[in-house]
Structure 1
Amino acid sequence: MPGGRLSHEDRREIAAGLAAGLGYAEIARQLDRPTSTISREVARNGGAHGYRADHAHYATSSRARRRRSETTEPPSALDDQVRDFVERFATMMVDGGLPRMASRVLALLYTADSRSLTAAELVRELRVSPASISKAVGYLERVGMVHREPDPRRRLQHYVIAEDVWLQAWRISARTNLNWAETAGEGAVLLGPDTPAGERLTKMADFFHRLGEDMAGGPAFEVIADALTALAALLHAARPLTADELATALAWPPARITDALANATKYAEYTDPVVLHQPTSDTYTAIPAPNRLSPEQLAALS
């Protein structure tokens, strides 16, 4: 039966022939098979010196079961237009700095009709390995953009996109900018702020620090609170005060009042309609923001 499949008994005869030192052609004649059938059988199952009949038979059966499983796998739920959109959506997120595979997983989760997808569904739809999905989902979990929920009926994990996924992405971007600012600031100190490299890094640190703060919703509450307290103290005093006088009145360390006064100038948009003013080089007072009132309004008030 030249065209039939090899049986377990056929494989035992092949093993016996190899053990007896017979060539592939002689074994093929004994089994009434093409020589190529014998040579392929031996090559894929350990070679002439490693061929074992039982192992070869079970390995071949296992491969056949896998092929049947693959041919009966459910078809993709995505049509070509949706698949194209998922890939374009993912590319947009990659351009924004998200890892490619994580972007593809996130795009698929966001465009799926189902509230969640399993790892097997992600593998099938994205046509990648389970290891790739596991790595991408791990990243998305760490940054809070995806979480997993167990299936109550089966031993499966469902991956669910976070409700505030874009807010999480915004926060991640804000943290990244602040990390850039911090690292650039360390480099400026290391190289010296007066060197060309130090000046470049200082400008970079200032830029990313402001950008990160803006994306995070502005400076920390404590920073603005101290600046407002210093301005309130100056308003109450109704006269210019030195930094030392302010520190004594507020019972603050000198460094804290120095930071508060610097931040009152740096974040004037947060202290409006009152801003810090220096009538002399070492005294401070609080005045109305110069541009808050029009010239006509100022004249009328005067």
Structure 2
Amino acid sequence: MTQQERQRIAAGLADGLSYAEIARRIDRPTSTISREIARNGGPSDYRPQQAHQATTHRARRGTPVPPRAAGPAAGTEGGSDSLAAAHEEIVDLAVGSGMPRMTARVHVDLILAEDGRRTAAELTRRLGVSPASVSLSVNYLVEHGYVRRERDPQRRRDIYVIDDEAHYHSIATSAQETLVVARAARAAAELHGPDSPVGQRLAKGGLFLERMVTDMMESADRWRGLLM
């Protein structure tokens, strides 16, 4: 990988792009981007100059790449290579769909918890990351309906829980967010005039989103029982 490509990776991270989008922009596999960032400080500490120098140094000395921090793919219950590969694939798929990698790692680690519960300290220790990284990731997951936050009154700490209906809750949250956009589009259509080209375009888009949300929630309600 060239130094210019590493600079574009850093720029993509600064802009909040997903690994998949960064990979598309520099015409590299997403897995290559994932490994490059993971072995050079992670998304919050990636520095293109240092990454290029470190890679050149390793190549010159013939030393192996340092192992990645323990996480869902390296520190899960069971510990087999096949399980680790499967868990890492889930993380990659989540990143490909737009979820930040650190958030995807936290999400998968919660899924792998026997009772679906972990404290912030447990997530920090298991994933080998900072408490701030865990906090940002959990806030994202809570906001999007993937997990919920519970309070332990005895030890005064938060516990993060992913239950069997997490997929339903995330779909419901996404549907509500889309519905807000749809209604805003239809309101804007009225301001532009329903007979104007812009008004018609906005009205059609808003109606399409509303119908899609209705169908999606009806389907989610119909199949919700599969999660119970």
TM-score by length of 1: 0.40
- Using the TM superposition, give the Cα deviation of residue 191 of structure 1 relative to its aligned residue in structure 2, in angstroms: 2.4
Identity fraction in percent? 37
- Whole-angstrom CA distance in 2 between matches of 1:97 and 1:121: 25
Deviations 1:71-108 (A, max 9, x none): xxxxx733455444334323433444545443332211
Aligned-pair RMSD on alpha carbons?
A: 2.8
Structure 2 spans left out of the alignment, 5+ residues: 1-73, 220-228
- In structure 2, the partner of 1:110 is 111
- Using the TM superposition, give the Cα deviation of residue 204 of structure 1 relative to its aligned residue in structure 2, in angstroms: 0.7
After alignment, is 206-215 or 96-105 more displaced?
96-105
- Whole-angstrom CA distance in 2 between matches of 1:151 and 1:85: 36
Deviations 1:244-283 (A, max 9, x none): xxxxxxxxxxxxxxxxxxxxxxxxxxxxxxxxxxxxxxxx
- In structure 2, the partner of 1:163 is 164
- In structure 1, the partner of 2:66 is none
- Using the TM superposition, give the Cα deviation of residue 134 of structure 1 relative to its aligned residue in structure 2, in angstroms: 1.0
SS across alignment from 1:179: helix
Say if 1:210 and 1:198 are closer, same or farther in 2 by CA, change over 3 A: same
Amino acid at match of 1:77: G
- In structure 2, the partner of 1:188 is 189
SS across alignment from 2:171: helix
The answer as to whether partners of 2:151 and 2:158 remain within 8 angstroms in 1 is yes
- In structure 1, the partner of 2:176 is 175
- In structure 2, the partner of 1:147 is 149
The answer as to whether partners of 1:151 and 1:158 remain within 8 angstroms in 2 is no
- In structure 2, the partner of 1:77 is 75
Say if 1:162 and 1:135 are closer, same or farther in 2 by CA, change over 3 A: same
Determine whether 1:217 maps to 2:218: yes
Amino acid at match of 1:208: L
SS across alignment from 1:177: helix
Structure 1 spans left out of the alignment, 5+ residues: 1-75, 219-302
Say if 1:112 and 1:139 are closer, same or farther in 2 by CA, change over 3 A: same
Amino acid at match of 1:164: E
SS across alignment from 2:218: coil
- List structure 1 runs of 4+ shifted beyond 6 angstroms: none
SS across alignment from 1:213: helix
- Whole-angstrom CA distance in 2 between matches of 1:84 and 1:186: 48
- Using the TM superposition, give the Cα deviation of residue 207 of structure 1 relative to its aligned residue in structure 2, in angstroms: 0.7
SS across alignment from 2:150: strand
- In structure 2, the partner of 1:206 is 207
- Whole-angstrom CA distance in 2 between matches of 1:86 and 1:174: 27
- Using the TM superposition, give the Cα deviation of residue 131 of structure 1 relative to its aligned residue in structure 2, in angstroms: 0.6
- In structure 1, the partner of 2:56 is none
- Using the TM superposition, give the Cα deviation of residue 211 of structure 1 relative to its aligned residue in structure 2, in angstroms: 0.5
- Rg (Cα) greater in structure: 1
Aligned length, in residue pairs: 142
SS across alignment from 1:216: helix
TM-score by length of 2: 0.52
